[in-house]
Amino acid sequence: MTSRLLSKTIVVEEGLAKVYVPDISEYIREDGVVEPSWMPVFYNPSAKFSRDVTVLVARTYFSSREFFFLDLLSGTGVRGIRLSLEAGGVGILNDVDPRAYDYITENIKFNKLDDRLTAFNMEANALANLLTFTGVVVDYADVDPYGSPIPFFESALKPLGKKALLGVTATDRGPLNCVNKEKTLKRYWLECHSVDFANELGIRVLTYVTALRASALNYAITPLLYLSKAHYFRVFYLVERRNPYEEISRCKGYIWYCRDTLERGLSKTGEPDVSCKGGKRPIVIGPLWVCPLGSKEFVDRVAENLEKTPYLKNRDVLKYVNLLKSEVDVNVPYIRLDLLCKKIGANMPNMDSLVERLRSMGFRASRTHLDYRGVKTDAPLDVLTSAIRETGGAGSS
């Protein structure tokens, strides 16, 4: 370690990496939680989960093949260093902040990766544009900003090869979840409504915007894996340089929603031919992404890879991957059972038994990591209601 780092610097171990980070104990809030935004160089211990999943996705997507990656917003460099040590990546770590750059360079040396990683101290868009015009072809670009990823989409897409991977974090959950209606309209051009599937809505809006930006550059995207955790969403997209017309035609659509009855569904048109029980017109939200938010085939491969990677098999990752395997191909916005049970005067059923019951009746059904109170199912509301009562949620009324 050199004097270029803060005097209060510690070493943390994450995955197979050991990295210098600012002394976390100096940035703990009154409630005992680390506040990474107070740190002169950003390191969030609780985002280890996001980095574990990033490593797992890269290991799965690239198998054992060496790949070239661009970690545009690196902080201490921990994510990129892990991609190199744990997934075989060679690449570039970048941060606009000179203090972060010092951590990145020291951490590259500390992990003996000087021949595999190069540090840059540039504004992310400037660097990505520069690389595009110098012929560097990127297999994986990672965008992990504070807040919205929108300012980085176009530049991150441009250096990607013909078929590549893009990993995106969004921490602007207020606008994406439609909590902050004005910001949602301003940033995402979406007239939003409060819904009980707010986390799924956020990822559908984010994916739609990614597809929109990509398609302007003649890239087609396919979502491979999505996650919602604490303060952030993270989505991984397969990005292909080809005419995106077919995806846009298929995947641009709307969600209809009945606030009184909690019915919902996906629609290709903004004027769906459905009515809520009782005859009211549903609310219509969109346009947004109505295709699946991940690939079942890819998620199954991620689960297989996790089996072969014991050090990544911690409780959080296992729970997440198992749920994702089950939920990823149930392409219906989840319904919050606590709210539905309240409306129908039933007790909360055992959720696993409910899912089993719906499946035994021939419907698709799954719990979801997006909300532990939620169930995704294509069963009509009447069927779901009866199944709740049959599986222990009979209630008092």
Residues that bind ligand SAM (CB under 6 A): 42-43, 47, 51, 73-75, 78-79, 95-97, 100, 123-124, 144-146
CB proximity list for 281: less than 8 A, separation 6 or greater: 275
Q: How far is the CB of 375 from ligand SAM (least distance, A)?
A: 32
Which CB sits closer to ligand SAM, 117 or 124?
124
Q: How far is the CB of 156 from ligand SAM (least distance, A)?
A: 11
> CA triplet 6, 7, 10: central angle to 5 degrees?
80
Which CB sits closer to ligand SAM, 109 or 359?
109
Task: Identify residue 72 by its one-letter amino acid code.
Answer: L
Which CB sits closer to ligand SAM, 168 or 203?
168
64: helix, strand or coil? coil
Q: How far is the CB of 104 from ligand SAM (least distance, A)?
A: 9
Q: How far is the CB of 75 from ligand SAM (least distance, A)?
A: 3
Question: Are 344 and 388 in contact, with CB atoms under 8 Å apart?
Answer: yes
Q: How far is the CB of 73 from ligand SAM (least distance, A)?
A: 3
Report, in angstroms and rounded to the nearest whole number, the Rg of the chain calculated over CA atoms: 22
Which CB sits closer to ligand SAM, 257 or 320?
320
Q: What residues are paired with 141 via a beta bridge?
A: 70, 166
3-state secondary structure 4-60: CCCCCEEEEEECCEEEEEECHHHHECCCCCECHHHCCCCCCHHHHHHHHHHHHHHHH
Which CB sits closer to ligand SAM, 128 or 201?
128
Q: Distance between CA 45 and CA 104 in Å, rounded?
A: 17
| Six-digit token string for 225 | 């894996």
Which CB sits closer to ligand SAM, 79 or 357?
79
Which CB sits closer to ligand SAM, 22 or 202?
22
Q: How far is the CB of 211 from ligand SAM (least distance, A)?
A: 23
Q: What residues are paired with 256 via a beta bridge?
A: 265, 284
| Six-digit token string for 281 | 């017109």
Q: How far is the CB of 321 from ligand SAM (least distance, A)?
A: 20
Question: Are 194 and 158 in contact, with CB atoms under 8 Å apart?
Answer: no
Q: Distance between CA 206 and CA 329 in Å, rounded?
A: 19
Q: How far is the CB of 21 from ligand SAM (least distance, A)?
A: 9
| Six-digit token string for 261 | 């009855």
Closest CA to 151 of 130, 114, 122, 123: 123
Q: How far is the CB of 247 from ligand SAM (least distance, A)?
A: 28
Which CB sits closer to ligand SAM, 40 or 380?
40
| Alpha-carbon torsion (143, 194, 335, 371), positive or negative | positive
Q: Distance between CA 98 and CA 105 in Å, rounded?
A: 11
Q: Distance between CA 36 and CA 112 in Å, rounded?
A: 26
Which CB sits closer to ligand SAM, 42 or 197?
42
Q: Distance between CA 333 and CA 317 in Å, rounded?
A: 23
Which CB sits closer to ligand SAM, 79 or 173?
79
Question: Are 178 and 193 in contact, with CB atoms under 8 Å apart?
Answer: yes
Q: How far is the CB of 38 from ligand SAM (least distance, A)?
A: 13
